[in-house]
């Protein structure tokens, strides 16, 4: 799983929460770092901030799905931007969205949903 979040404290909190529950979690604070990890690590789930310092999250989503096509159905956007344009960018990707601020239970539910989708895609 790869968490891409430019706010370091949020990135670390998400990484610690999910790691504590046994997930293998990689993290990146920029699109460049995320792209490097996508090309070199076995990323099966992507938790992606819409606003990154060097690229918009939807652009990184398209890069990620070109490198790892399965991420098209295994990505969760995380954003505090509730504007129509932000919602449209995320909806165009066809990925679910988790609005910031969110608690650990909402995060776990969203990850569980992605994992269930992944299990269904893999036949069980």
> Token digits for 10?
């949020």
The DSSP line for 23-89 is: ---EEESSHHHHHHHHHHS----EEEESB-SSSBHHHHHHHHHHH-GGGGGSEEEEES--SHHHHHH
Q: What is the pTM of this model?
A: 0.92
List of domains in the chain: 2-121 (3.40.50.2300)
Say how far apart CA 16 and CA 38 lie, in whole Å. Answer: 20
pLDDT (tens digit per residue) in 28-56: 999 999 999 999 999 999 999 999 999 99
**Could you tell me the mean pLDDT of each successive run of 10 residues in the chain, 124 residues long?**
96 96 96 97 96 96 97 95 91 94 95 80 59
């Amino acid at each position: 799983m790869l968490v891409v979040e430019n706010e370091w404290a949020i990135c670390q909190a998400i990484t610690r929460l999910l790691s504590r529950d046994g997930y293998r979690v990689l993290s990146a604070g920029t699109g460049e770092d995320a792209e490097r990890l996508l090309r070199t690590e076995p990323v099966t789930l992507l938790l992606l901030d819409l606003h990154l310092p060097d690229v918009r999250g939807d652009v990184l989503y398209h890069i990620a799905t070109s490198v790892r096509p399965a991420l098209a159905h295994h990505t969760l956007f995380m954003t505090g931007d509730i504007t129509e344009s932000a919602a449209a960018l995320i909806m165009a990707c066809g990925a679910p969205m988790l609005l910031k601020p969110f608690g650990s239970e909402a995060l776990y539910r969203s990850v569980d949903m992605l994992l269930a989708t992944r299990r269904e895609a893999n036949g069980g």
